[in-house]
Amino acid sequence: MDLGLTDRVYVLTGASRGLGYATAQCLVADGARVVLSARDPDAVAAAAERLGGPEHAVGLTADLADPETPGQLVAAAREHFGRLDGALISVGGPPPGNAAAITDEQWRLSFETVFLGTIRAVRTIAGALPEGGAIGLVLSTSARGPVPGLGISNGLRPGLVGAAKDIADDYGPRGVRVVGLLPGRILTDRNRELFAATGDPERARTEAEAGIPLRRIGDPAEFGRVAAFVLSPAASYLTGITLPVDGGALRGL
């Protein structure tokens, strides 16, 4: 199936590695061009080079906590590639810990990046998109059910789902789509860190896999293919939904 991605342009945040980078790989493989952003200048430059360099991908050092970042991403896409068709907004996972034990400062910092930074980016980018544009938000299955030991994520992700639905309603009449993506256990650096934090990563992984109907941890490319489809014109009637990519782990219908 032709996804219709040839020559379309997307910005992706937190995309020097993990799910954002996996999505960028899938977009570029189908003919799209991308602007990657991340906080580490060396990492984002290397990621853009691996994707084929300036003809296919450019890197921008940026932090979603900075109010200027969304506008810079829009400007970079237009400057380098002459257009903008969509975005994948991905924010690194907040610090682990139970909600009752997390400090006020940790809550504030996470709100600024995970919540407000995301909303600001979606609002700014959606306003810059033409009809047929699309935004994907990389959230978490914690948006539908709390994940033990991830109190901040459990608190903020459901709010982002509600806000994304509201924004999808606002921009739908303009033909701009907004979709939430809910990755489950996928073998990113973040999940490796969470497994390692238990003190017995192999056991933690085995226990996690036992709770997944497919009985395995997902590969980033499996998420990337879903995200690329959601952002593409082939998914033109999808908006205002949250789509789990979790091997069947969520039990809600």
Write down the domain spans for the chain. 9-184+218-245
- 78, 84 Cβ separation under 8 angstroms: yes
Helical (H) or strand (E) element with 178:
strand 177-183
Which residue bears the tokens 């056991």? 203
Task: Look at strands 33-38 and 57-61 and give their pairing.
Answer: parallel
Per-residue model confidence (pLDDT) at position 1 = 83
Instruction: Give percent of the chain with pLDDT exceeding 70.
Output: 100
pLDDT at 92 over 80: no
- Strands (E) across 100-148 are located at 134-138
- 142, 150 Cβ separation under 8 angstroms: yes
| Tens digits of residue pLDDT in 162-200 | 999 999 999 999 999 999 999 999 998 878 888 888 888
Per-residue model confidence (pLDDT) at position 69 = 95
Question: Taking the alpha carbons of 109, 94, 10, 49 in that order, is the dihedral positive or negative?
Answer: positive
- 62, 38 Cβ separation under 8 angstroms: yes
Structure confidence at residue 80 as a pLDDT band (50, 70, 90): very high
Per-residue model confidence (pLDDT) at position 153 = 87
Question: Taking the alpha carbons of 9, 171, 165, 70 in that order, is the dihedral positive or negative?
Answer: positive
pLDDT at 68 over 90: yes
Q: Which two tokens stand for residue 31?
A: 């003919």
65-74, 82-91, 190-199: which range is least confident on average?
Answer: 190-199
The strand pairing partners of 218, in sequence order, are: 186
pLDDT at 91 over 80: no
Per-residue model confidence (pLDDT) at position 119 = 95
Which residue bears the tokens 């020559």? 7
| Tens digits of residue pLDDT in 109-159 | 999 988 999 999 999 999 999 999 999 999 988 888 888 888 998 899 999
Structure confidence at residue 224 as a pLDDT band (50, 70, 90): very high
Per-residue model confidence (pLDDT) at position 108 = 92
| Tens digits of residue pLDDT in 4-61 | 999 999 999 999 999 999 999 999 999 999 999 999 999 999 999 999 999 999 999 9
Closest CA to 240 of 157, 181, 178: 178
| Tens digits of residue pLDDT in 206-221 | 998 999 999 999 999 9
Per-residue model confidence (pLDDT) at position 33 = 98
Q: Rounded to 5 degrees, what angle do the CA atoms 64, 242, 141 make?
A: 75
Domain boundaries 9-184+218-245, corresponding CATH code: 3.40.50.720
d(CA 64, CA 121): 7
